[in-house]
Amino acid sequence: MSALNIKDMIGKRRMLTQGHRMCPGCGAPTAIRQAFMGIDCPVVVVSATGCMEVSTTVYPYSAWNVPFMHIAFENAAAGISGVETAYNVLRKKGKIDKEIKFVAFGGDGGTYDIGLQSLSGALERGHDFTYICYNNQGYMNTGAQRSSATPLGANATTSPAGSRSSGKLQRAKDLTEIVAAHGIPYVAQTSLHNPFDLMKKVKRAVETPGPAFVNILTPCPLFWKIDTSEQANICRLAVDSKFWPVYEVIDGKYYLSYEPKPPATIEEFLRAQGRYSHLFKKGQERFDLVADAQRDADENWEKLLARCMR
C-alpha cells in the first residue's frame, strides 16, 4: 500500500462537495470526505437510503463529484456487486481499459439491519468492492429510532428512557466480527478520533482485491446529544474507554491499531452524552447498567487482544 501524503490529500478534488444538506456538524460527511482522501483512483459510489443519500441528492442537485447511484435501503451491497460485475464484463470486451474501484456507503440501519442479507451475500460471492458503514448507532433519517447498533441503555425514540425503561435493553450487535467471520480479505474498525487512521484503513480496503469492509463510528450530535465541537473528543473517549476498539483483520489475522494506556472508563464515555443522561439522574441512577456496559467492554477487549498479532 502506498503511503499517505498530506499535501497530496489536501490538494485532491473533492468527491463530496460543499452545499449538501446534512445537519450542521454532522460527522457523516466528515467521515466520507476523509475516506475519499485515502482513495487515489476513479470510483463509482452506491448508497443505501439514509441521511447521506437524502441530504446529498435533493433533486435536481447532487453533492457527489463521482458516478453515484442511490439504491434501496436493503440492497446497497447487491447494487455495488452488479456495477462491479458489469465493469468486469466491459473490461473483458475491451470497452473499458482503466482501473475503477467500487464503494458502497450505508448507515447502521441499512447495514446492520435492513441490508445485512445483501451485504452477506456480496461478501460470500467475493465481489471486488469496499463497503463503508457510517455508524451513528440508530435510524437518524427517520427520527432517531434504535437499531441493532444502538448500545445498551441508550435513549432512542423506540427504546425511550422513562419510568418503566432505562433506554435500550439489548446489547449492540458486533457487525465487524460478523463480517470478519465471512473470511474476506480486509475488515477494519475506526472513528473520527484519528483522521489518518480512517484514511489509511479506507485506502487499504480499496486497494485490497476482493471484498472489504470498514466500520466507522460516526456520532450524530442530535441523537447522541453532544455539542458538535465535542465530536472528535467523544470518538476519542469511545476508543480510549474500549467501547469502540480500532483494529484491522487482514487475511484473517487481527491487528490492534491502538491500545489506550491508561484506558478511560465507560462511565466517562456515557456521561459525555445526553442519550445516557437518564442513567445518572439523581435518585434514579442505573449504575448497574453502567457496570454491565463496563463489563461488556472489558470482556470484548480481552477477546480482541487474544485474537490480535502483538
CB-facing half-sphere around the CA of 124: CA atoms within 13 A: 7
The answer on pLDDT for 126 being more than 60 is: yes
The answer on pLDDT for 190 being more than 90 is: yes
Output the pLDDT for position 6: 65
| Position 1 confidence tier, pLDDT thresholds 50, 70, 90 | low
| Cα–Cα separations (whole angstroms), residue 161 to 151, 182, 291, 292 | 13, 36, 18, 17
Q: Which residues contact 230 (CB under 8 A, 6 or more apart)?
A: 272
Mean pLDDT over residues 42-66, rounded? 93
Contact 205, 213 (CB under 8 A): yes
The three three-digit cell numbers of residue 21, written as one number:
444538506
Domains annotated for the chain, with CATH where assigned, are 6-307 (3.40.50.970)
For Cα atoms 203, 204, 207, give the angle at the middle one, nearest 5 degrees: 85
Mean pLDDT over residues 45-49, rounded? 96
| Beta bridge pairs of residue 215 | 133, 189
DSSP label of 274: G
94 CB-contact burial (10 Å; exposed 0-12 / middle 13-18 / buried 19+)? exposed
Whole-prediction pTM: 0.94
Q: Which residues contact 8 (CB under 8 A, 6 or more apart)?
A: none
Torsion on CA atoms 180, 184, 186, 189, rounded to nearest 10? -20
Helix H or strand E encompassing 194: none
Q: How far is CA 51 from the centre of its chain?
A: 13
Residue the block writes with cell 444502538: 150
The answer on pLDDT for 12 being more than 90 is: no
Output the pLDDT for position 19: 82
